[in-house]
Amino acid sequence: MPHPNDPKLRSFISVDPASDFPIQNLPYGVFSSKDGLAPRVGVAIGDYVLDLWQLAQDCRIDVVEPGVFAAPTLNPFMALGPKVWSNTRARIGELLRHDYPELRDNEKLRRRALVPMADAKLHLPITVAGYTDFYSSKEHATNVGVMFRGKDNALQPNWLHMPIGYNGRASTVVVSGTQVRRPRGQLKPPNVELPSFGACKRLDFELEMGVVVGQPSRMGEMLSEKQAEEMIFGFVLLNDWSARDIQQWEYVPLGPFQAKAFATSISPWIVTREALEPFRVHGPEQNPTPLSYLKQAQPNNYDMQLDVGLRAAQMNEAMRICRTNFKYMYWSSVQQLVHHASSGCAMNIGDLLGSGTISGPEKHQRGSLLEISWNGTEPLELPEGRKRTFLEDGDSLVMRGWCQGDGYRVGFGEVEGSILPAS
Amino acid sequence: MPHPNDPKLRSFISVDPASDFPIQNLPYGVFSSKDGLAPRVGVAIGDYVLDLWQLAQDCRIDVVEPGVFAAPTLNPFMALGPKVWSNTRARIGELLRHDYPELRDNEKLRRRALVPMADAKLHLPITVAGYTDFYSSKEHATNVGVMFRGKDNALQPNWLHMPIGYNGRASTVVVSGTQVRRPRGQLKPPNVELPSFGACKRLDFELEMGVVVGQPSRMGEMLSEKQAEEMIFGFVLLNDWSARDIQQWEYVPLGPFQAKAFATSISPWIVTREALEPFRVHGPEQNPTPLSYLKQAQPNNYDMQLDVGLRAAQMNEAMRICRTNFKYMYWSSVQQLVHHASSGCAMNIGDLLGSGTISGPEKHQRGSLLEISWNGTEPLELPEGRKRTFLEDGDSLVMRGWCQGDGYRVGFGEVEGSILPAS
């Protein structure tokens, strides 16, 4: 049987070469459709969602109990562990092959199990146990540092020694398409003496990837590189919405709180770590050499193209405002997870780790409006004379990401969110 | 029927006036006993645990479906809301009254439903949805500020305007009695050029109270004082274990992360907000007047005595090292909750909000070793010539708290934890 990542594999379902969802991908999500059944687990293939619960009911996937696919979240399936993840993906790939008759020639089952993507409503794919946000792009940290502290002190002294991160708020992680209400909060611009309470005026996005942790670790135990890697179920696109003005006033000394608590958006499809395997690359050289608990024996970055589009309410289509790559990240997801557990912090199934804003070395690779507009001093020019320093009500933000193979791509779809006015 | 807080109420179970658990208290917890049944919900009364599941099975509590008391966590019961919380407490109080025969005279039911505390194992009483830690004692914030920034810049500019807080790690909240392994982490003392990885040398406790949120709020919505108050199910004692050396190196600019992620201990008994009602007091005057969303129309502090004991492995009993009061907190729990939701952050059933270290104006009222030993410069003297700047392996830390009524007290029992050596 060919490996499910084999570039030569073809599905009996025709998949456009520009589709994010060829047979080499098979990302997991939670969906519901017009049939009125409850949200359940599916896999994206071309323009369809493959209903795993229907397949399991029909005894076509026997590697797990069918119940895990009837759940409205992937957590029960993730709990079964990496061997089951891998076996299930291989079996799904087999069932979808152009030269494998079992599903291809069973019209009744195909009709039940293949739901047109256009008829599917996609839900938050996991129950988020904990949400942690890192800060691991050197270019992003440097840009922010130069803006606020000048060129000579841009990076904080600890930054090159560990993946800096903080705990975010899991309760407001939402799926792509959820509208985001402009937050209110305490604002105190530097030129004003006293704070006031009002609608955020400097609302921003942050282009990130999110790691979905699929296996737990025990309190009091550290993780090796290998252990950490095996705990990673997959990745999502992540928009870490940020209220820059709230953040500036609140964050000393305990870090961002309400500035990041109002919403975090993720893509509905979780691309598995296994599907990304062919796109592994080394990250940037790490100098100074990390302490031994953070050393990497293998390349843990991914060559993943990312872009961001902004569409103001009056525009017909989004304008690309950032084009970058996940491979630029200084600290890898594996290093983040190792560091996260290094104090003995227990990790849970469903933990979500944001990578931190993904900027690159070039100007068009900046992953936030804070950087793109250089703290509001260089407004972004949109069509018809419109300008943006930060997000306005009605703006829609779309992030996309994919790894380019030879004749196919392994992609994430999109994570989209638009801004509602403050209530 | 007398109100369940009536100081004149007496139970048919004899309760020592110094007990934390008279009929005026009735705190909720999760316990198991020698009978081999799964962990379930109980209430403390004197030296007994009253098994609510047994009472519900026997149709003695009809305000809720019995299933909620069979759960290994209070979350399902909390989900039923403040009216049910209040009615259930009133009914339990009635069943325990000295002049009410229903349970008192039913020997068979009494034998089933009353478990000697000595035979009960107490479990973590809630599934912690999110853990947030505040920093709301002015005395604590000032002490820390004076130590690290000097007297003139002790309080950060934002501190008097909002309850400063950060998201903590829910996965390592543990119940009293759980041993805590000394964390490892990156350490870089100021006089050393490069960080190293090793066992924390400055391990500390923080005396806090924890608010247990029992009702949710919706994403995008703010809370009034009244709404926030009604969402509070009760309070626990909380020890926010802290690795001061890890914290010092990691916390700029995103706040504490691994320094606080290895363990947070709470008491097994949740004292309900209703039981604390007679002990409400005004907090310290707030100057400047808080912004209107944080204004309080009622006293939201509590006159609650707190003390901390430290027992080194060689000592027979703990020595009291702190005696303070929850009433000193500058920002109340209600203000913390209002602020927490102010950006539109959704609150969940089972959210736990740490108050921040509770110090008072006097030297003996300092709620952490950092303050007691003044950053290690004034070692604490223990019996037989022992000294402490920070915690050593084998040390046991015990916190107690209670509100003193006329002839009875409404208390929390204790939260205890002892230190295991780093692995």
Per-residue pLDDT of A247-282, as tens digits, reads: 999 999 999 999 999 999 999 999 999 999 999 999
Which pLDDT score, from 0 to 100, does residue B142 have? 97
Q: What is the pLDDT of residues B293-304, one digit of tens each?
A: 999 999 999 999
Element holding A273 (H helix, E strand): helix A273-276
Say if the Cβ atoms of B171 and A345 lie within 8 Å.
Answer: yes
- Helix/strand/coil for B84: helix
Task: Tell me the mean pLDDT in the region A304-317.
Answer: 97
3-state helix, strand, coil in chain B (%, to 5): 25, 25, 45
Residue that is written with structure tokens 């810049």 in the block: B153
Residues of chain A in contact with residue B292, where contact means CB-CB under 8 angstroms, are 197
Q: What's the pLDDT band for A169 if we cut at 50, 70, 90?
A: very high
Say if the Cβ atoms of B250 and A164 lie within 8 Å.
Answer: yes
Residue A370, φ and ψ in degrees, nearest 5: -50, -45
For strand A48-51 and strand A40-45, is the pairing parallel, antiparallel, or unpaired?
Answer: antiparallel
Residues of chain B in contact with residue A292, where contact means CB-CB under 8 angstroms, are 197
Q: What is the pLDDT of residues A181-239, one digit of tens each?
A: 999 999 999 899 999 999 999 999 999 999 999 999 999 999 999 999 999 999 999 99
DSSP 8-class letter at B183: P
Euclidean distance between CA atoms A217 and A346, whole angstroms: 5
Q: What is the pLDDT of residues B342-368, one digit of tens each?
A: 999 999 999 999 999 999 999 999 999
DSSP 8-class letter at A97: B
Tell me the CATH number for domain A131-420.
3.90.850.10
The domain spans of chain A are 28-123, 131-420
Q: Which CATH number fits domain B28-123: 2.60.120.10, 1.10.3720.10, 2.40.50.180, 2.30.30.230?
A: 2.30.30.230
Number of H helices, E strands in chain A: 13, 26
3-state helix, strand, coil in chain A (%, to 5): 25, 25, 45
Residues of chain A in contact with residue B346, where contact means CB-CB under 8 angstroms, are 171-172
Q: What is the pLDDT of residues B147-179, one digit of tens each?
A: 988 898 899 999 999 999 999 999 999 999 999
* B377 exposure class (CB count in 10 Å sphere: 0-12, 13-18, 19+): exposed
Residues of chain B in contact with residue A290, where contact means CB-CB under 8 angstroms, are none
Cis peptide before B195 (omega within 30 of 0): no
Q: What is the pLDDT of residues A11-61, one digit of tens each?
A: 999 999 999 999 999 999 999 998 888 999 999 999 999 999 999 999 999
Q: What's the pLDDT band for B215 if we cut at 50, 70, 90?
A: very high
- Helix/strand/coil for B207: strand
Amino acid occupying residue B165: G
Say if the Cβ atoms of A263 and B219 lie within 8 Å.
Answer: yes
Out of B172, B195, B351, the one facing A219 most closely (by C-beta) is B172
Say if the Cβ atoms of B292 and A197 lie within 8 Å.
Answer: yes
Annotated binding-site residue? B260: yes
Question: Are A353 and A134 in contact, with CB atoms under 8 Å apart?
Answer: yes
Angle, alpha carbons A239-A261-A269 (nearest 5°): 35
Euclidean distance between CA atoms B58 and B69, whole angstroms: 12
Say if the Cβ atoms of A263 and B197 lie within 8 Å.
Answer: no
Tell me which chain A residue has its CA closest to the CA of residue B351: A171
Tell me which chain A residue has its CA closest to the CA of residue B127: A129
Q: What is the pLDDT of residues A59-103, one digit of tens each?
A: 999 767 778 999 999 999 999 999 999 999 999 999 999 999 999
B363: CB partners within 8 A, 6+ apart: none
- Helix/strand/coil for B320: strand
- B123, B140, B282, B364: which is the annotated catalytic residue? B140
Say if the Cβ atoms of A172 and B345 lie within 8 Å.
Answer: yes
Q: DSSP states of A279-336 as a string?
A: GEE--S--SSPPPGGG--SS--EE--EEEEEEE-TT-SS-EEEEEEEGGG-SS-HHHH
Tell me which chain A residue has its CA closest to the CA of residue B419: A220
The tokens for A144 are 């922010």
How high is the mean pLDDT of chain A? 97
Say if the Cβ atoms of B158 and A250 lie within 8 Å.
Answer: yes
- A3, A98, A123, A140: which is the annotated catalytic residue? A140
Q: What's the pLDDT band for B66 if we cut at 50, 70, 90?
A: confident
Other beta carbons within 10 Å of B375? 17
Other beta carbons within 10 Å of B319? 16
Q: What is the interface pTM, i.e. ipTM, of the complex? A: 0.97
Q: What's the pLDDT band for A374 if we cut at 50, 70, 90?
A: very high
Residue that is written with structure tokens 């395997």 in the block: A277
B364 labelled catalytic: no
Residue A104 has pLDDT above 90, yes or no: yes
Kindly provide the residue ranges of all beta strands, DSSP E only, lying in B8-147, ordered along the sequence.
28-32, 40-45, 48-51, 114-116, 121-123, 131-134
Q: What is the pLDDT of residues B268-325, one digit of tens each?
A: 999 999 999 999 999 999 999 999 999 999 999 999 999 999 999 999 999 999 999 9
Closest CA to B335 of B373, B365, B376, B301: B301
B180–chain A nearest CA distance, Å = 8
Residue that is written with structure tokens 């025709």 in the block: A14
Diameter over CA atoms, chain A? 73
Question: Are B201 and B245 in contact, with CB atoms under 8 Å apart?
Answer: yes
Cis peptide before A288 (omega within 30 of 0): yes
A273: CB partners within 8 A, 6+ apart: A229, A232, A233, A234, A235
A397: CB partners within 8 A, 6+ apart: A205, A239, A308, A309, A310, A311, A391, A416, A417, A418
Which pLDDT score, from 0 to 100, does residue B148 have? 87
Euclidean distance between CA atoms B389 and B380, whole angstroms: 6
Residue B63 has pLDDT above 70, yes or no: no
Q: What is the pLDDT of residues B105-143, one digit of tens each?
A: 999 999 999 999 999 999 999 999 999 999 999 999 999
Euclidean distance between CA atoms B52 and B42, whole angstroms: 5
Residues of chain A in contact with residue B195, where contact means CB-CB under 8 angstroms, are 158, 161-162, 291
Residue to substitute from B343, B345, B419, B420, interface A, most A β-carbons within 10 A? B343
Cis peptide before B125 (omega within 30 of 0): no
Euclidean distance between CA atoms A326 and B162, whole angstroms: 37
For chains A and B, count residue pairs whose Cβ atoms are closer than 8 Å. Answer: 197
- Helix/strand/coil for A246: helix
Which pLDDT score, from 0 to 100, does residue B34 have? 87
Question: Are A331 and A355 in contact, with CB atoms under 8 Å apart?
Answer: no
- Range list of H helices, B124-217: 138-149
Other beta carbons within 10 Å of A67? 11
Tell me which chain B residue has its CA closest to the CA of residue A241: B343
A160–chain B nearest CA distance, Å = 11
Which pLDDT score, from 0 to 100, does residue B153 have? 86
Which pLDDT score, from 0 to 100, does residue A63 have? 66
Say if the Cβ atoms of B171 and A130 lie within 8 Å.
Answer: yes
Kindly provide the residue ranges of all beta strands, DSSP E only, lying in A106-231, ordered along the sequence.
114-116, 121-123, 131-134, 165-167, 173-175, 180-181, 184-187, 196-199, 203-204, 207-213
Closest CA to B337 of B169, B225, B261: B225
Euclidean distance between CA atoms B211 and B318, whole angstroms: 27
Residues of chain B in contact with residue A343, where contact means CB-CB under 8 angstroms, are 183-185, 243, 246, 258-259, 261-262
DSSP 8-class letter at A345: P
A351: CB partners within 8 A, 6+ apart: A128, A129, A130, A131, A132, A212, A213, B171
